[in-house]
Every structure is written in structure tokens, then in C-alpha cells.
Amino acid sequence: MAEEEYWFCLKHHTVEERDGCKAADRLGPYATRDEAAAALDKVQQRNEAWDNDPDWNDDAPREG
């Protein structure tokens, strides 16, 4: 039996299984329902990290 996978639907803001909305409207797959439910939090954390990463932020002063 295949392992379960879950996606977070950006259109409906719900966790879905394989037979959900189209891929363009989803984030995932995630291994657990809880991970999928926290997808937007994870996106926000990553965006903040990237916004503050001097290697990827053209507005931040660079050393050297």
C-alpha cells in the first residue's frame, strides 16, 4: 500500500488528499495532514528567511 500524502489547497484553504484540486492550486505533497495544514506558516517562515538573507537580498548592504 502506498504511503499517504497530503496537499494544502490555496483555493479552498483546506488539506486535501491525492484526488483534490489541480496541482497549480496546491502546495505539497506533505507526509502528514498536520504538515499540510501548516503549509502557509512554512511559506511565511521561508519568505522571511529569504528576505533577510544577504546573499539573496539586493537591498541589504554587503560586506567586502
pLDDT at 7 over 50: yes
The pLDDT value recorded for residue 56 is: 73
CB 27 within 8 A of CB 43: yes
Q: Compute the average pLDDT of residues 26-32.
A: 97
pLDDT at 1 over 50: no
Query: What pTM was computed for the model?
Result: 0.75
pLDDT at 12 over 90: yes
Question: What's the pLDDT band for 3 if we cut at 50, 70, 90?
Answer: confident
d(CA 18, CA 6): 7
Q: Compute the average pLDDT of residues 47-56.
A: 87
- Strands (DSSP E) along 1-64, which ranges? 6-9, 14-16, 26-30
